[in-house]
Structures are given as structure tokens and as C-alpha cells.
Homo-oligomer: A and B are copies of this chain.
């Protein structure tokens, strides 16, 4: 079983590494981290650099496809970009096609989400709907053979859900225990419903500013 995590410059690190840490522990699964080009690839914050050893072309037919999010997805989520073309070409033969956070915008641009329920980061639900999905704010959404996770950290929950489907509940339990995933956030503001309104407005404004800085000015047609 080949699991491909497809990256691009400006991906959000935890979106990819949360699921990586879960999926890489499935026996007999081969996890391949790939991107358009070999060599250095920086995340959206610019302080993490990966050394990419496999191109997207090296992994044309993965059994499981996973794409993370990042502010730059707002500009990449159009037909013709390398990551979207890779998804479009690979999806017909995957067992599962999956995303974390705004990675679902890339799935949408590849035509994967037409008529499906899906999720994304809480700030991007409107944008996801514009890509043909029925957007929902659930943490993990399974529709057909597509699984989407909500923002950033939801990739861990998405990946454990995927492990249940791929290898059974005992494997999901074993991996959860191996990474001691018994979360206890010291604060309780992890969703827009739980956060104080002024914190919610602040985060939405910071993300809008980041989108603006990335040159994103309009929603997709």
C-alpha cells in the first residue's frame, strides 16, 4: 500500500506531519513525501525546510493520496497547477483521496469534491463551497472514498479515521497509544464556537491579512 503526501511551497507543516506520524506506523504501508521538484521545500512560515526525495511524477498512482493546506492554496486551487493536476490524474485509481485544512480547496479544484460533503479550516468554509463541495464544519468528513479534515491539527484525527478504514480499529488504537494522543489543551478555544469573540475576530483578521499578503484578492469563480 502506497500512501503519497503531496506537498508544494508554502504548505502548513503540521497539516502534513500530523498525518505522516500516524500513517507511517501502519505495517506494510509505504509513505512517500513528494512535491513538484526535488530538494529544498519551505513551509508557509519559512523556518522549516524539507529535503524532497520524490517528485509528484514519481508517485502517479498512490493507493492513498493526502494533501495538506496552506494560505497559498487560495492561489494554487485552479486547474493547471502541478499539485491540482497530480490530484486530478491520481484520484480515479486511489482507494482514499484525503486532505487536511485548506488542502480540500485543491481537491475541489481537481474536481474531486463535486456533489460531496467536505470540510476545511473554519475560516475557509465559504471558499470550499465555491469549489463545488457541500461545506460542513465537522472535524472529519467521509463521503464516498474522500476524507477531509478541518484545520491544521485535525489532520491527526483524520489520519486515525483513515487508519481505522485501512487497517482496523485495533491498529488505530495502537497508533494512538504509540503517539500518546490523549489531548489536553491547556486552553479551550480550539473552535470558533468555543473561542471568545474577540479572539475569533483577531484570528480571522490575521488570516485575511496573510491571504492578502499572498496576493489572494478574489474567491474562485
Instruction: Give A contacts to B, CB under 8 Å.
Output: 12-14, 17-18, 20-21, 24-25, 31-33, 39-40, 45, 47-53, 101, 121-122, 139-140, 150-154, 156-157, 160-161, 164, 169-170, 172-174, 176-187, 189-192, 194-196, 199-200, 202-203, 206-207
A21 lies within 8 A of B199 (CB): no
For residue A134, give the distance in angstroms from its CB to the closest CB of chain B.
19
Residue of A51, A150, A152 with highest tally of chain B CB at under 10 A: A51
Please, could you name 13 A-B residue pairs with CB atoms under 8 Å apart, sorted by A?
A: A25-B45, A31-B47, A101-B180, A122-B180, A139-B182, A152-B179, A153-B181, A153-B183, A164-B187, A173-B195, A177-B199, A178-B207, A181-B185
Query: Of B122, B182, B187, B203, which is within 8 A of A172 by CB?
Result: B187
B47 lies within 8 A of A48 (CB): no
Residue of A139, A152, A176 with highest tally of chain B CB at under 10 A: A176
